[in-house]
Amino acid sequence: MGGGGSTRRVTFEADENENITVVKGVRLSDSVIDRMKEPSSPSGRQHRGSGAVNDEELKKRIAEELALERARRDSEAQKRRLKEQMYVRDEFGKLLERERISSNEHLTRAILRERAATEEERQKAQRL
């Protein structure tokens, strides 16, 4: 799924008043946007007058949020793979158990046939 090898271009632009940074080429979830709207610290409000600092902070925050989203997706994918692996392992375990039971039944039948044949030969030997 959208791994780290992406070649997608991301551009940052400021509006005419330099109050808003426009980020093109990035898809963000609602939770990411909500977290970005929250102030990260009380000092974050003091830098509102300086446009360059705001842009840098916003770029850093977007990069952090993208990294968090990517880590969350990777974690979910890893959990899915682990569940699939556990399912396959359980199915192999069930299959091996059925094979073991079947082998034991065949072995038991073979032993009983041998005992019967041995007993039959012993009785023949006694008669002669």
For the chain, give the longest Cα–Cα distance.
118
Contact 13, 21 (CB under 8 A): yes
What is the rounded CA–CA span in Å between residue 91 and residue 88?
A: 5
Q: For the chain, which residues make up each domain, given as ranges?
A: 55-127
Identity at 106, one-letter amino acid code: H
Better pLDDT: 7 or 119: 119
Contact 11, 25 (CB under 8 A): yes
pTM across the whole model? 0.42
Percent of the chain with pLDDT over 90: 47
